[in-house]
Amino acid sequence: MSCCGFISTFCVFVVSVQLICGVFRFLYQQFIGPLLNGKSTDFKKYGQWALVTGATDGIGKEYARSLAKRGLNIILVSRTLSKLETVAKEISEAFNVETAVIDVNFTSGPEIYDKIKEKIHGKEIGILVNNVGMGYITPDYFLSIPNRDQMIKDMIQCNVLSIPMMCSIILPQMVERKKGLVITISSLSAIIPAGCMTVYSATKAFAHKFSEDLSMEYGKHGIKVQSILPGPVATNMTRLKKGSLMAPKADKFVESALLTVDSAPYSTGYFPHVIFQVITQFLSFLMPSYLTSLTLKTMENVRNRSIKKGLYTPVASQ
């Protein structure tokens, strides 16, 4: 065999091995691992308390309920005190655990984090769920977003700043104990084309990237960091009222996502969303222009239906 032939064969071999390993790793993290090991995960090993931001509705509320069901005491952090107290009472009575509430508005300034520090003092927080977030009223072009400047500021405060600030508060005690779990709710829009959701998808890309690199830094200290990138979930924020195969209700989604904690550093959390991710990224590789056009047209259709129903009024583009 000639030198060139040997090099070509070796390159094909290396690429084949990488491909096979990559496919197996993907299948294990997203399907085999959750199926085999997901139900045996011991969440109480991380600590006595779990803190969930954005905990009164949707995915956040269901993370709080699911972790309480697994025996953890729950700290609920959200904006409206009355809703916090209602959810806290519901969880305490249903699962016989302790609960605590912290009412802060994550679109406010940095002073809210002083209040959070004060309220959690002395509590062994083993799990942090960075769930709080805000989205668009309906998909739209950047310059057509109503009250755009304020929306940008609020979304960055809520979707971006909250994540490193909450980690800054809670991560030190996890490192001291050499154990902890940080789950951050990103979005599938962070890694696939998401025109007409530009600011939102960019904030979720930050959430995903921050989680990836935080895991790299603190995995050696016993801290598990997971990024969850869901597709559509039936919640108040998405305005999807009925669950379906591709848009499950929040309780079904969270139970599925918790099965992936021990096997996947990042996941959509829900197997049909994994399939959607694979198809989308495959199309992005083969036909990027087609996928971009299809995505934008889909978002425009959602926008136009909302306008037609009188649910949304864009501003004139500048």
Which tens digits make up the pLDDT trace of 221-253? 999 999 999 999 988 777 777 888 899 999 999
Q: Looking at the annotation, which residues are catalytic?
A: 200
Helical pair 58-69 and 81-95, crossing angle rounded to 10 deg: 30
Answer for the pair 130, 183: CB distance below 8 angstroms, yes or no. yes
Question: For 104-127, what is each residue's pLDDT tens digit?
Answer: 999 998 899 999 999 999 999 999
Contact criterion met (CB below 8 Å) for 199 and 301: no
Contact by Cβ (8 Å): 54, 22: no
Q: Which two tokens stand for residue 312?
A: 């949304």
* Two tokens, residue 219: 């995995």
Fold classification of 37-308 is Rossmann fold (3.40.50)
Summarize pLDDT for 272-317 with one digit per residue, the tens.
Answer: 998 888 899 888 888 999 999 999 999 999 999 999 999 899 987 5
* Eight-class DSSP state of 309: T
**Sign of the Cα pseudo-torsion (243, 249, 255, 257, in order):** positive
- Share the mean pLDDT of the chain: 90
Q: What residue ranges do the domains of the chain occupy?
A: 37-308
Q: Nearest to residue 74, comparing CAs of 105, 51, 57?
A: 51
pTM for the model stands at 0.90
Q: How far apart are CA 80 and CA 317, in angstroms?
A: 34
